[in-house]
Chains A and B, each alone.
Chain A
Amino acid sequence: MPSDSIDIRYVAALARLALTEDEIDVFGRQLGDLLGHVDALSRLDIGAISATAQVVESRNVTRDDSPRPCLDRELVLAQAPQRQGGFFRVPRIIAE
């Protein structure tokens, strides 16, 4: 297993989570501690064992490609933090 250290700033950036300096300090210690505990898994002999992602066998699910009633657009947009006409409004993504 990798070491118990965790690069909190890097992981927080991946997770799109702004952290305060206090959080970086506290979470860094707490998560390092947790990684120390999960390190116990390295004692298991798992070389030839298959991984379980789903307990009950899953299969690809499709439905008929026919139109059905769906959520009302106004109802959905009414929940948006910011909207413009029939769209969700977000900060500019592509630079001018």
Chain B
Amino acid sequence: MASDLLSESAARIAERVRSGEVTASEVTEATLERVAAADGSIGAYLTVLPELARAHAARVDERVRGGESLPLAGVPLAVKDNMCLEGTRTTCGSKILEHWVAPYTATAVARMIEAGAVPIGKANCDEFAMGSSCENSALGVTRNPYDLTRVPGGSSGGSAAAVAAYEAAIGLGSDTGGSIREPAAFCNLVGFKPTYGRISRYGLIAFASSLDQIGPLTRTVEDSALAYDAMAGFDPMDATSIDRSVEVAASGLRDDLRGLRIGIVRDFETKALGEDLDAIYQAAYRDLEKLGAELVDVSLPTAEYGVATYYLIAPAECSSNLARFDGVRYGLRVDGDDVRAMYERTRAAGFGPEVKRRILIGTHALSSGYYDAYYVRAQKARTLIGRDFENAFEQCDLIACPAGSCAAFEFGAKSDPYSMYLMDYYTIPMSLAGLPALSVPCGWSTPPGGSTPMPIGLQLCAPLFEERLLLGAAHAYETATRA
């Protein structure tokens, strides 16, 4: 029973729990057994929470018996370890927070629990969500369930691996430049980043505050819609949370794309992909057309500057946000002769190389004499990238493009930092523009030198606040193309 149950979608698991066919406690026990059996080789979780999960499951069962209709009743949940869950270790994959216990719960996590989800554990990630392979975690290695010699993607790699390996039905991730969409593509999942500000960042440990956005990683589009419906909406605890009504996404799932114009980004196609994925994407675009969409050419001329823009803005915000880790109030402290030496040694010992690189580049970009040339210039480029999308959306309802430039790669393959940064080439422009975007599985490709075909993701992107349309269309594509 266990394996059948766990391979179901979150929607189906919740349905079975609501009907009384199985209990949340049974789903939780089955999941904990699965984690015990599988996670030794996968490494999705940094912390597994059996007692907490059982307590939450018992509460869900009580609520179901009491007549509550919970949309995510008993759904096993993996929480990226940069989100607070009261009373649990929350590390951000960093030595500086290795033993830190969150004193409160993030709004997004609390809303998932309120909807009936059961937190199974805290999932590994690149340190402070900085990376595209999960290799930057200081606390553990996460492997791609489709090929253990390859990375799961990042930074939400643990959440992706957990869901792909049936160690959870929904993973919560955060996406700053592609950290939900890229691991979803690498692990054959749907990964959804809503409009900036749609889901509260309260309790999400900040990396780049103007870009960070929480979203789900799931095995179906419907599951992402259910998770979004549970989490989206204004939160007074986040000053950038948007106070605007949210359309229910789960009721907007479509079976065709008739009447929709989908923009194909010609600038992107001229870009040399890391591997020969062009045939896969051309086939995906034709599938969109077969479902009734009208394909139109659109141009995003400034998008090619996305990576350069992002690697000034995100590190600048990171250098500011991570200043709080100074050994005074929480986390690691390494003593020094005076307070300054204490700061410097604490941060030297607590942060890994990628975090240090980004703090340095961000500090440089914000420093006197360089601020206008780097930071302000990047903010202006950000304006142009946003305008590109505004112009494109005058001609189309949605944009379709690659989610990544290659399939999941082997450990150590991107040791040069800039080659890792380029992983986010196709996802960064949407992040800079704050747009809702998702990755949905669209095919398989055997990487050069590899023997196992690995999953590839199609990215769909919508105008601000058009999550319902975006998920609805993705559902039509998924239904038509997934066996």
A residues sitting closer than 8 Å to B (CB atoms) are: 1-2, 6, 8, 11-12, 14-19, 23, 27, 30-31, 33-35, 37-42, 44, 46, 49-56, 58, 61, 63, 71-72, 75-76, 79-82, 88, 90-93
Contacts and interface: CB of A to CB of B under 8 A. Distances in A.
11 contacts: A16-B340, A31-B360, A33-B418, A44-B302, A46-B381, A49-B384, A79-B101, A81-B331, A82-B333, A91-B341, A92-B339
B373 A15 contact: no
B100 interface: yes
B271 interface: no
Nearest to B327: A81
Contact of A15 (B319, B339, B464): B319
Contacts of A81: 327-328, 330-333
A91 B338 CA distance: 6
Nearest to B387: A49
B339 A34 contact: no
Interface in B326-385: 326-333, 335-345, 347-348, 351, 353, 356-357, 359-361, 363-364, 367, 369-370, 373-374, 376-384
Contacts of B347: 15-18
A4 to B, nearest CB: 11
Contacts of A16: 323, 326, 340, 343-344, 347
B381 A53 contact: no
Interface of B: 100-101, 103-104, 195-197, 210, 236, 239-240, 242, 302, 305, 307-309, 311-312, 319, 323, 326-333, 335-345, 347-348, 351, 353, 356-357, 359-361, 363-364, 367, 369-370, 373-374, 376-384, 386, 417-418, 421, 432-434, 464
Contacts of B345: 18
Interface majority SS on A: helix, strand, loop or mixed? Answer: loop
Contacts of B340: 16
Contacts of A54: 210, 240
A11 B367 contact: yes
B383 A51 contact: yes
A92 to B, nearest CB: 7
A46 B242 contact: no
Nearest to A93: B339
Given A16-B344, A31-B357, A38-B312, A11 B363 contact: yes
Nearest to A12: B360
Interface majority SS on B: helix, strand, loop or mixed? Answer: helix
B342 A41 contact: no
B363 A56 contact: no
Highest count of chain A CB atoms <10 Å: which of B239, B323, B361, B386: B361
Given A38-B374, A76-B103, A17 B359 contact: yes
A23 B359 CA distance: 13
Contacts of B369: 2
A71 to B, nearest CB: 5
A89 to B, nearest CB: 9
Contacts of B312: 38, 41
A23 B103 contact: no
A11 to B, nearest CB: 5
Which are the 8 A-B pairs with shortest beta-carbon distances? A55-B434, A81-B333, A51-B379, A18-B344, A18-B348, A46-B380, A38-B308, A16-B343
Contacts of B332: 81
Contact of B417 (A2, A17, A34): A34
Highest count of chain B CB atoms <10 Å: which of A38, A44, A76: A38
Contacts of A91: 335-339, 341-342
B54 to A, nearest CB: 24
A27 B433 contact: no
A82 B329 CA distance: 8
B329 A80 contact: yes
Given A15-B319, A15-B363, A51 B196 contact: no
Contacts of A58: 239-240
Nearest to B101: A79
A75 B338 contact: no
Nearest to B379: A51
Given A17-B347, A52-B382, A55-B210, A34 B236 contact: no
Contacts of A27: 353, 356-357, 360
Highest count of chain A CB atoms <10 Å: which of B236, B381, B421: B381
